[in-house]
Structure 1
Amino acid sequence: MCRVPRNKEFDYQEKLKVARDLFWKKGYQATTMNDLVDTLGINRSSIYDSFGNKHALFLKCLHDYIQEKELSYQASANKGVSALDSAIMIIKDLVRTILIDTKTCLSINSTFELSRIDQDVNQLLKQQANNSIKLFEGLFRKAQQEGELSAEKDPTLLAYFVVSNFASLWNADLLFNDKKRLYQLTDFLISIIRA
């Protein structure tokens, strides 16, 4: 007798987001398979069948998060009236997210927790960083063509500088919890771009 595969009794994307929130809250190392079973409300074998082991599930969660971040950066860029304004909109929207979000960026958490010890995570995070750098580099090159950005600035170096500063802005909010200071740091970053 041939067995007909059962349909999944849960929404894959919804459970992926639940798992992502758990990893986000506890970190990868502190999250156990029992935590995942309890939080997702599905049995261990269903988790393995649908998502793979804990590591594979985490990579799926991180990939899903990165895709959302990249879409949000693009949406912010689309609000700009010029290339330079688009770059600044991404930065300002990021700061708004920092101020309203109760969780630190999952990519930044994962960078500090896993990037040195997990090659797969490192590759995903490096690809995200490179995509962000390319986005800013393209905007800065266009801004130079439009006369909004000094021709003496190196668009690639400036893009690396901006993307690297994202972690600093999250860090400042975590350590100092000072909205005024965060805005000052943001204005300072933007002034360096415009200088």
Structure 2
Amino acid sequence: MTRSKEFDEREVLLKAMHLFWEKGYEKTSLQDLVTHMGIHRRSLYDTFGDKHSLFVKTMEQYDIQTNATIKAEVSRGRTAKQAIRFIFDYLIEVNDDRPLGCLFVNSATELGLRDPEVREMTNEGFNNEEKILVSLIQKGQQSGEIQSDKDTKILAASLQTTMIGLRVLARTFTDKKRLHQVADASIAILDV
């Protein structure tokens, strides 16, 4: 007879995600995961597979969670520039119990060169983020809010590069006023 799980799979996955996000893949041991998730080692293996499989699942969960939040907020009747401003503010003004920075950016810098699966996931995440920015810029160009004589993909890539930089700085640099100034300068490239 199979034993039923004595834990909420999503809840323990979120705990693992936060631990990987805070410590990184290499510095998170299996014992750290077992302790932090509050489950037995056997349950971890039976439910999530090995450490790498668990890590990949946490990245998938992070991607779903982040995209849902950003897409929901961006679609709340904001103008294109207001939506882009929201995304920058969201990256800077993290006020909950989340670790600093971004799990995807952290993972790309830690593992991207040597782990093809992580590289593919982070590249896909960055590409999806850029598509959101391209769509917002096109919306702003159609409404006359954003310069229409500039290439939307170049503008989106420039904004995204700043966003990635802000997520790196957010881990070590706590002057939010300065981070907002950097965001302002980046968003200014959209001015008509």
Q: Scaled by the length of structure 1, what TM-score is found?
A: 0.89
Distance 2:84 2:180 in 1: 16
Bigger radius of gyration among the two:
1
Q: Number of residues paired by the alignment?
A: 192
The answer to whether 1:5 aligns with 2:2 is: yes
1:27 aligned partner: 24
CA offset digits 1:117-156 (Å, max 9, x no partner): 1111111111111111111101111211111111211111
- Which is helix-richer, 1 or 2? 1
| Long gaps (5+) in structure 1 | none
The answer to whether 1:177 aligns with 2:174 is: yes
Give the root-mean-square deviation of aligned CA atoms.
Answer: 2.0
Distance 1:62 1:50 in 2: 16
CA offset digits 1:76-129 (Å, max 9, x no partner): 312343233222222222222289855221111111111111111111111111
Distance 1:22 1:172 in 2: 19
Of 84-93 and 5-14, more deviation after overlay is shown by 84-93
Shift of 1:175: 4.2
Distance 1:28 1:194, change over 3 A: same
1:73 aligned partner: 70
Distance 1:5 1:86 in 2: 49
Q: After the TM superposition, which segments of 4 or more aligned residues of structure 1 sit over 6 Å from their partners?
A: none
Of 13-22 and 73-82, more deviation after overlay is shown by 73-82
Q: Scaled by the length of structure 2, what TM-score is found?
A: 0.91
2:36 to 35, 39, 52: 39
Amino acid across the alignment from 2:83: S
| Long gaps (5+) in structure 2 | none
SS in 1 for 2:145: coil
Of 147-156 and 76-85, more deviation after overlay is shown by 76-85
Shift of 1:180: 2.2
Distance 1:102 1:33, change over 3 A: closer
Bigger RCO (CA 8 Å, 6+ sep): 2
Amino acid across the alignment from 1:111: A
Matches within 5 A, 1:30-109: 30-97=27-94, 102-109=99-106
